[in-house]
Amino acid sequence: MSGMNSTDDLGGGVAGLAARTGWARHPGVRTGPRLELADRAADALCRVLGSWTWLIAASVTILAAGTMTLRHDHAVGGAARLAVALSVLAVLQVSALLRAIRRADRIAAEVALYHLDQARRAAAVAEDLRDELARLHTDVARIAAHLDIAAQPVRHR
């Protein structure tokens, strides 16, 4: 089997994967310092804005600010109340969407790592089968040689 003669060909072996998490464990995906600055910034922004902490803090802040504004200005009509409600809804939707994206990314990473592990296992099984086939080939050649020797007529002196 050319090119894939050990499990290390698919990413450094199992020991190297234990210390890394998520996409960093997959050899085909750039992560961390191998990403461009814009990609790292987008990942960080998604982690922050897609967290439960952000969702709760933003909702409470917007509700508190809206409530304070509406209480101080009694002349504010229904349009202002509707704007505050829509702002809270928009923040919740964006945060929920980012949480869904993060979840989809984690699922994709888990599936990719599962497939990578299966490929490693298949490579190991193929290597074992190749070794077994080579041993069987040697055994068959040895048995054939013995049969040739046994089939020759015995010379009497």
Q: Is the pTM of this model over 0.75?
A: no
State how far the Cα of 31 lies from the Cα of 90, in Å rounded to an integer. Answer: 30
pLDDT digits (tens, 9 = 90+) for 9-54: 444 444 444 445 666 666 666 667 777 787 777 777 777 777 778 7
Check residue 129 and give its pLDDT.
97
Better-scored residue on pLDDT, 32 or 101: 101
Ranges of each domain in the chain? 13-151
Residue type, 131: D
pLDDT digits (tens, 9 = 90+) for 59-89: 788 778 777 777 776 666 777 777 777 887 8
Contacts of 95 (CB under 8 A, 6+ apart): 49, 50, 54, 55, 58
Residue type, 147: L
Check residue 9 and give its pLDDT.
41
